[in-house]
Structure 1
Amino acid sequence: MKFVNVAITALTMARSVSAFAPSLASRSPAFIKPKIRSNAFTCSSLNMAQVGRLTEPAGQMLDKTDVFIFDCDGVIWRGDSVIDGIPETLAKLRAAGKKMYFVTNNSTKSRAGYKKKFDSLGLDVPAEEIFSSSFAAAAYLEQTNFKETGKKVYIVGEVGICEELDLIDVPWIGGPADKDKAPDMGPGGALPHDKDVGAVIVGFDRNINYFKIQTAQLCINENE
C-alpha cells in the first residue's frame, strides 16, 4: 500500500524538478525530463520576503544564472490577478535565453489547469515548464511502476490529481465524486471499502469529509 501526501513545499519540488518521472518524457509531450546542470535561482514568496535587496548587481546575477524556478501563488499571481511587473520580467528572461520553471504545491489543478490559469493572465507559459504537486504524485506512481500492479488509487483531493492520473492511465476512485458521501456502517458494523485500492493520494481538498477519511484509512490499514 502506497501513501502519497502531495502537500509538499514548492521549494522541495524545485530542488527535485530534474528527478520527476524520467520515463514520462517519451509518453506525452506534456511530460518532460528537464536537464538542469547549471546555476539556478529559486523564487518563492518566502525567500522574497527574506531578501531585502540584491547583494550584487542584477546584471551579474543574470549573467551567471541559467535557470529560474518560480513559485506561483504570491509570486506570479495573487488570486486571479497577475502581480505587477511579472509579464515584463518573464519576457526579459526569455529574451535573454533563460530557462524557467513554475512550481506549486497546490494540487487542485493539473498542469493543463495551470496552463489555462497562465493563459487567463496573459502569460505564455508552456505546460512543459509547469510542475504542480498533482503532477509530482502521478510522476511518483509512474516511476515506481504502480500501473503494473493492476491496482487503483483512492484520491482525497480535487480534479488536478484526477487529471494527472488519467494522463498515465492509472485507474482511480474518490476525489470530487465523494464530496457528498457520508460514513456508512455495513451489516454487523463492517466498514466497506474497495479492496483493489493499492495507493492513497492525499492533497488539498476543499470538500474533505468523514467518508473520505474513513475510506482512506481503511485502504491504508486493510489493503495489501
Structure 2
Amino acid sequence: MSRFLSATWAVFLNDARLELRSRTALGALAMFVAAALILVRFSLGRIAVGSTVAAALLWIVVVFAGAIGLGRAFMAEEERGTTLLLRLAAPPEAVYAGKLLFNVVLTLALALVAGLGMRILIPTSLGAPSLYWAALGLGGLGLASTTTLLSALLARARAAGPLLPVLAFPLLIPLLSSGVGLTLSASGAESGAWEAAQQDLLLLASYAGLTTTVSFLLFEYVWKD
C-alpha cells in the first residue's frame, strides 16, 4: 500500500508539473468553456432562459469540454516517449490512480469555472446550491474516470484526439441525463430539493463508482497490451 500511494503521488506530481509548464490541458479547457458560454449567451440574446434549458446547456459544456481536454492523460506519454519508463517505474494501478487524480483535479476546476460562468451569464433560480455543486462534483468524477481509461485505450492511435469524444459520448449519456436532472432539482427549494433528486443522485453516484471500479479492473490489461 505504501508503494502504491507513493507511486500514485509521484505520477500525479509529474503530470501536474508538466501541465504547469505547458498549460496545454488548462488552456484547452479554459478556452472551450469560455467560448462555449459566451457563444451561448450571445446566441440567446434577450431571450429568457428557463432552468431546464440552463441545466442542459451547463452539462453539454462540461461533458464536451472534458471529453476534449482530458484526453491527453496518456497521449502525452506516447508523444514524449516515456511510456516504457512509466511501465517500469510504477505498477499499473498506481499509474491509473495518479492519472485519474490529476484528471479529477482538472475536471473539478472545469466544473467550478463552468458552474460559476453559467450562474453569471445565464442566471436562473437556485434554491439548493449545495445540490448544484454536489452534482458537478460527482459528474466530474465520473467524467474523469471514463476519459482517463479511454485515453489509455487510444494513446497509440493516430487520430486519438478526434476519436475520444466520439467514443466517450455514448458512455457519458447516463452522466449527462442524471446531471441535468440534479441541476434542475437544485433550482427548487432547499428543503425538498435533496428528496426530489434522490434517484438522479443515486444514479450519478453509482455511475461514478462503477466507472472508477471497472477502470481499475481493466486498466492493467489496457496498459500492458
TM surpasses 0.5? no
Which structure has more RCO (C-alpha within 8 Å, separation ≥ 6)?
A: 2
TM-score band, normalised by the shorter chain? under 0.3
**TM-score (structure 2 length as normaliser):** 0.24
Whichever structure has more helix as a proportion of its residues is 2
Whichever structure has more strand as a proportion of its residues is 1
**TM-score (structure 1 length as normaliser):** 0.24
Bigger radius of gyration among the two? 1
